[in-house]
Amino acid sequence: MKTEIILVFCLIVLIAAQASCRGFSFGKNYDGELGTGTTTKEISPTAIRLNAPLIAAAAGYSHSVVVTSDYKAFSFGSNFLGRLGAKSNVNYTTTPIAVFEGGALRGEKIIKVSCSVFHSLLLSESGCLFGFGYNGAGEIGVQGVDVVNEPIAVDARGLLNGKKVSGMDTGNYHSIGYTSDGIAFAFGSNEAFQLGTGTPESSSVAVPVNTNGLLKGKKIVGVAAGFKHSLVLTSEGLAYSFGGNEYGQLGNGRYYFWEKLPVAVATNGTLKGKTIVAVSASAYHSAVITSDGGLFMFGNNNASHGQLGTGDRAVTALPLAIKRSMELENKKVVQVSCGTSHSLLTTSEGDVYATGLNDQGQLGFGTTIFESFTFQPIMKNDTLNYKQTASGDSHSIVI
């Protein structure tokens, strides 16, 4: 009897450990981007139909990509312009399908993923970058092709020759990344100077973010991409931004003025004396996390629905500490994701909170409340330790 009890206990622990890595999704589901097996939107967290632990997830406009613990990528949702990377002609899928593993991905172990409106990027354990989907502006980082329906290696000649990529992010029509030795690079559309080169030319191959000014001698350890703007994080714990700035999403105290070269995210206010450890961006708003678990947000909040979590609709061009609701009192933020008009975060305790627009249930509240202006809890770590959120246009993923 004692042996049976021990075995049952071990089984419960094993199930809980596996479940803690499972993926959940909620929000818009027109094309199956929730991966739940239907096209019905979900207003509460619902299990993704993939029987495997997950280590990474990304949410785009109407598709999603996740990575399993055995380093394989799966996608679901719309396949318009090949954005699922499955080398398939299906229009959409409501359940996860494998990203094509032959060709460029053969033998590679995928560890990170990012996806935007029409394109996605994968990063392998070996430091190689792969892309698929739409490439009309060069956002996949290869020349001579507009649409790619299976992973293709980002052009590693020139700047990336002999380099290992450590991280990346995808904007609407551009991408940005950084190498293991701290060099920031970008490719794709540059219509708002979101590549940070100082010139207006777009590029279908990796070009260096300008380091002649404020970034001179800096080592880049993080990046984020929004609609037409980008952020980089240095090893010193400082953030810099460039590109479109209609709503103050660059965090430098200015509105409307596009920045051709990297400018400093303001540190003379709420960020004074703080060390930044993470950056995030979406359409027109951005966020940074500090080493003490603080969350600071800036950009669009008025024309939308409270995605900054500041308690009101006020647009801000300077980083603002989120108003600590009773629920977030004494909590440390460890991860944040910015969607088009909503944001999600995770705390050091493994809890998940959300704020912003909820017209499609993308906040996961379980109700049809239209919007929220402060971060509210949606998933508590009773038995599951949530590690990452991914915020898309109108849907979300938690793993």
pLDDT recorded at residue 20: 46
- CB neighbours of 201 closer than 8 A, spacing ≥ 6? 190
User: Do the domain assignments include residue 307?
Assistant: no
- Given a cut of 50, is residue 14 above it in pLDDT? no
Rounded to whole angstroms, the maximal C-alpha distance in the chain is 74
- Given a cut of 50, is residue 15 above it in pLDDT? no
User: Do the domain assignments include residue 183?
Assistant: no
Residue 122: closest CA among 172, 85, 163: 85
- Given a cut of 60, is residue 132 above it in pLDDT? yes
Residue 116: domain span: 20-149
User: Do the domain assignments include residue 293?
Assistant: no
User: Do the domain assignments include residue 102?
Assistant: yes
pLDDT recorded at residue 348: 95
Considering only 36-50, 68-82, 242-256, 292-306, which range has the smallest mean pLDDT? 292-306
User: Do the domain assignments include residue 236?
Assistant: no
User: Do the domain assignments include residue 290?
Assistant: no
The whole-number average pLDDT for the span 249-268 is: 95
User: Do the domain assignments include residue 176?
Assistant: no
How does pLDDT run across 195-239, given as a tens digit for each residue? 999 999 999 999 999 999 999 999 999 999 999 999 999 999 999
Looking at residue 313, its amino acid is: R
- Given a cut of 90, is residue 52 above it in pLDDT? yes
How does pLDDT run across 303-320, given as a tens digit for each residue? 668 999 998 888 999 999
DSSP for 173-228, written as a single string: SEEEEEETTS-EEEEE--TTSTT-SSS---EEEEEEPP-SSTTTT--EEEEEE-SS
pLDDT recorded at residue 375: 94
* CATH number of the CATH domain containing 58: 2.130.10.30
Residue 103 DSSP class: G
Classified as helix, coil or strand, 10 is helix
How does pLDDT run across 141-186, given as a tens digit for each residue? 999 999 999 999 999 999 999 999 999 999 999 999 999 999 999 9
Query: What span, in angstroms and rounded, lies between the C-alpha atoms of 287 and 310?
Result: 12
Whole-number Cα distances in Å, 381 to 16, 32, 65, 169, 376: 12, 27, 24, 28, 14
For 281-297, letters b (16+ CB in 10 Å) and e give: bbbbbbbbbbeeebbbb
Query: What span, in angstroms and rounded, lies between the C-alpha atoms of 398 and 309?
Result: 19
- Cα angle value 86/92/95 (rounded, 5°): 80
Q: How distant is the alpha carbon of residue 39 from its chain centre?
A: 23
Q: Give me the number of domains the chain comprises.
A: 1
Lookup result for tokens 């560890």: 111
Query: What span, in angstroms and rounded, lies between the C-alpha atoms of 195 and 176?
Result: 7
Query: What span, in angstroms and rounded, lies between the C-alpha atoms of 57 and 167?
Result: 14
Which pLDDT band, with edges at 50, 70 and 90, does 19 fall under? very low
Considering only 196-205, 297-306, 362-371, 372-381, which range has the smallest mean pLDDT? 297-306
What is the model's pTM?
0.93
Classified as helix, coil or strand, 370 is coil
User: Do the domain assignments include residue 364?
Assistant: no
Sign, CA dihedral 356-359-365-369, equals positive
- Given a cut of 90, is residue 387 above it in pLDDT? yes
Mean pLDDT of the chain, nearest integer: 92
